[in-house]
Structure 1
């Protein structure tokens, strides 16, 4: 079986207030999966998008996406508390 190591799987985005959190997992050469999260806010020229990649690797794409979403939610809750 040939694996496409460039294919990225993404989860359903989560919205908290003005923030949209979207996670994706990417197959690694080791056969495990890496995780990234995008935290976007604003619209048009006033929009921002923070992307975080994590060093941890995961056995499934779903586990990677769940971890990334959880980290994104944690970041948003921290940002909301400091406003």
Structure 2
């Protein structure tokens, strides 16, 4: 996700949802770098999401 800031830059964030129904959980990550374009912010968020998915799962 991206959002335009008051200064005209773009902020990147990532939402990862797991589970279903009342057992669902949503993690939202907001990143500190600001970007001059929507596309750059979107690419950064996508790269961060892919990196998150590459991490080994924690034992249950």
- Length-normalised TM-score, structure 1: 0.63
The count of corresponding residues between Structure 1 and Structure 2 is 58
Task: Quote the offset at 1:82 in angstroms.
Answer: 3.4
The equivalences for 1:2-81 within 5 A come to 24-78=1-55, 81=56
Question: Any gaps of 5 or more consecutive residues in structure 1?
Answer: 1-23
**Counterpart position of 1:10:** none
The structure richer in helix per residue is 2
Question: Any gaps of 5 or more consecutive residues in structure 2?
Answer: none
> Per chain length, whose mean CA-contact separation is higher, i.e. which structure has more relative contact order (CA < 8 Å, sep 6+)?
2
Within 2, Cα distance between the matches of 1:73 and 1:41? 15
Structure 1 outlier segments of 4+, above 6 Å: none
